[in-house]
Amino acid sequence: MTDERTINAYSTRVADYLQVPLPPEQIEARMAFAEAVGTGHILDLGSGPGSDSAFFMREGLTVRALDATPAFVEHARENGVDAHLGTFEDVTEKAEYDGIYASFSLLHAPRAEFPRHLAAIHRALKPGGIFFLGLKLGTGEHRDDLDRYYTYFSQTEIEEAMAHADFTIDRITTGMGTGLAGSYDGFILVLAHA
């Protein structure tokens, strides 16, 4: 499922999105992901305008970026990122990637689809491949002040879903931060391997 209202919210706010500062926990977790992968080919799943992809490229990784917002894909391409228009449904590879980075993207998928997306990510990773997952903590599914669709999870729900998808969690970091809508939300950053 692709939520047009969410895509529209992002399409009109590319410049604003680029100005949102990453919390220190996320900067550190992004580096930890790059170090865990080391070298190789990664997928930036829900890559936004490509800022993380560009960071990983500077770290020597080969990056394929995937996002459902055309304006984000265009911005990423203009900045040298191998960006493609697509959704979570387009993760169909088998043992292709050394790492998959899903930073606050899977929270836009309905809760019922979360296990299926995790299974597809696991299949797309090489054995032992690294997976980074960033989500907002909370309960329920609703729209934020920018009309974006969100699914919120508890840490326990995430841990159980990851275990069910055969991921081994290596590290969990939690924190608080302000996103594009200006709300101050709890988040969770999970580093795991297939």
How far apart, in whole angstroms, are the C-alpha atoms of residue 60 and residue 70?
Answer: 26
What is the full per-residue pLDDT of the chain (194 aa) written as tens digits? 578 888 888 888 878 888 888 889 999 999 999 999 999 999 999 999 999 999 999 999 999 999 999 999 999 999 999 999 999 999 999 999 999 999 999 999 999 999 999 999 999 999 999 999 999 999 999 898 888 899 999 999 999 999 999 999 999 999 998 887 777 889 999 999 99
Q: What is the pTM of this model?
A: 0.94
- CATH number, position 102: 3.40.50.150
Summarize pLDDT for 23-73 with one digit per residue, the tens: 899 999 999 999 999 999 999 999 999 999 999 999 999 999 999 999 999
Per-residue CA distances from 57 to 42, 61, 156, 164, 192 (Å): 10, 5, 33, 31, 21
For CA atoms 57, 63, 68, 73, the dihedral sign is positive
Which one, of 136, 83, 73, lies nearest residue 109 by Cα? 136
Containing domain of residue 13, as a range?
Answer: 4-193
How far apart, in whole angstroms, are the C-alpha atoms of residue 3 and residue 109?
Answer: 9
What is the pLDDT at residue 5? 86
Which one, of 69, 35, 23, lies nearest residue 50 by Cα? 69
The number of domains in the chain is 1
Q: What are 145's two structure tokens?
A: 């002040």
